[in-house]
Each structure stands twice: as C-alpha cells, then as structure tokens.
Amino acid sequence: MRLGVLDVGSNTVHFLVVDAHPGAAPLPAYSHKAELRLAELLDEAGGISEPGVAKLIDMVSSSLRVAEDKGVVDILPFATSAVREAVNGEEVLGRVAAETGVELQVLSGQDEARLTFLAVRRWFGWSSGRLLNLDIGGGSLEIACGLDEQPDVACSLPLGAGRLTGRWLPGDIADPDHLRELRRHIRAEMATVVGEISRLGPPDHAVATSKTFKQLARMTGAAPADAGPYADRRLTRSGLSAWLPRLSGMTVAERAQIPGVSEGRAKQLLAGALVADAAMDLFGLEELDICPWALREGIILRRLDAMDSPADRRRPALTT
C-alpha cells in the first residue's frame, strides 16, 4: 500500500510518500517538504504566530494535493515539540483540522524517543544488542536505550538545536560568553538523565538519528547523501571536538559552505554540535553510527505492525 507520513516538526514540515507492506522495508517514493521553522515563528507569549499558522495550513493543504496525485491511500499525520509546547497548540490543531480536514496527532517526547528507537532497532537488527539512540530535533533531544524493540528508558529534553539557537545564539557569530553559558546549560540538563540510562549498562551499539547528526557526520568526513542509505556513516568524538572551535568562530554564511550543511540549518549547526559533544562526553561514547531511519520510519513501522497481513491469514495456525 502507498502511505503518506505528514511530519510537522520544529524545523521542517515533511510529507513523505512510501510504498510499504508488512514484513518489508518501507520504500520512499516521493518527498514534499518545506523549512517552516515553526520553533522560530513564536510570538512573545510563546504561541505560534499567525504567519506561522498560515504557512502550516498551506503546507498541509499542498501535502493533501500531493497525496491525491501520488495515489496515497492512508495519511499518518503527526506533530512534535513545536506544536506540543506552543501555548496556542490546541488552537493551531483546531485551525488545521477545520481548514484542511487533517487531525494532527501530537506526539509526546517519550513517544518520539520510542518510535525512533523502533526504527533504529529494525534497521540494525537484534545483533546490535543493547542500543542507545540519540536524536537532536529542532525543539528537543530524544534519548532511548534498551535491548528490545521497546526501549527500557525513553526520555526527551528541551535541547533542540533550533530552540537553543534562538535563546542563546541569536547573532551571526557566537558570543563567547553566551557560548560558555549554553555549554553549561546543555550539560546540566543532560546530566539529569545520564544516571538513569547508565544504570542499564554500557550500550553494545551507540546510534544517532536526525538531520543534525547527519550533517555533523558529513562535516567530519562521512559519506555524502548521494552515496545512498547503506553507506557506513559515523560521527567520531575526536572529529567533532576538532571542529567545534572552528564552528564557534564562523558566521552563518560560512557554516553554510561546509559540505553537507544546508543553508536553512547552518544557523543551528553550532548548537547541535554542542549537544552532540555533550552527549558523547557524558555517555562515554567515542563514536556514533548514523542511522538513515528515524521517527517517520518508526511511525510507518508501527502502522504496518497493526495491519493484518494476508500472508498471515493464509498461514496455518500453530498447533501442539
């Protein structure tokens, strides 16, 4: 069947069309996205501004047209931290539903962590043992760890690259004092969950998902996107540490010239690098494998798991 996943994130609204059926990997067929950066379109009260709501409604409407053109039979619409934490989030959801007919499901931070973990587990398989996954979004950092498809620990922290950039690094070049304050803030916030995860024991496989981690890995020498999803990609702590001083002194335009860094995310790159560096340091990780699957794939896999497979209906029941 052809599914559409509508992901309303803090940075990007992404409508991904996939061909999928139970027991097989979902195959991307078409991508439609726009960098709305909703986390940056907040008014003084902490709500999504009217221009932000209008842009979101336009994007949802255009996604519906894409779905019709591409033969999508079911749409899985969800929203993450930008809508979840906006003071007018319920009003925004109502506006979207009234004007487009799409009812966005707002995921909790723990739901994001669990679903992303599911995608990572399916990608790397059981041989990975205890998995630790890190995901830096625009509004939050998700961390999950465990031995099964459902993590033993799943948590979400307000350490998204967009959120931190807007609050701590608004200028073109980072102010050294602000940079030190942000580094302390990130590490203090992350330290609140380190003990809970460390009690599970050291991970057998440490993994990272999200656009931020992909760009950091590319910056430090990982294969480019056109090498395909099966290319091995890693972010090393030594490579990231070597880049941090350089990033701190760059303008946004200079960061955008780094191979693999998009113009729209160049401003957030430094904050994302600080979060990644803190996580690798506090969790004692020398490298992270980059997984091409993340939250959207987790949503699709959970949907497929809930379907009745015709093959299963034909298979004789096991008897003793």
Positions of E strands within the chain: 2-8, 13-19, 27-34, 74-79, 105-106, 131-136, 141-146, 153-157, 205-209, 234-236, 287-290
d(CA 119, CA 184): 31
Taking only the tens place, the pLDDT of each residue in 76-131 is 999 999 999 999 999 999 999 999 999 999 999 999 999 999 999 999 999 999 99
Taking 50 as the threshold, does the pLDDT of residue 286 lie above it?
yes
Residues 6+ apart with CB under 8 A from 137: 9, 10, 11, 80, 81, 112, 160, 161, 162, 210, 212
Taking only the tens place, the pLDDT of each residue in 174-224 is 999 999 999 999 999 999 999 999 999 999 999 999 999 999 999 999 999
What phi, psi does 224 have (nearest 5°)?
-70, 170
- The mean pLDDT value of the chain amounts to 93
Exposure string over 234-259, b if 16+ CB within 10 A, otherwise e: bbbbebbeebeeebbebebeebbebe
Q: Is the model's pTM score more than 0.85?
A: yes
Q: What pLDDT, on the 0 to 100 scale, is given for residue 308?
A: 53
Taking 60 as the threshold, does the pLDDT of residue 311 lie above it?
no
Taking 80 as the threshold, does the pLDDT of residue 40 lie above it?
no
d(CA 213, CA 305): 28
Q: What pLDDT, on the 0 to 100 scale, is given for residue 318?
A: 42
**Percentage of residues in the chain with pLDDT exceeding 70?**
96
- Do 35 and 12 form a contact (C-beta atoms < 8 A)? yes
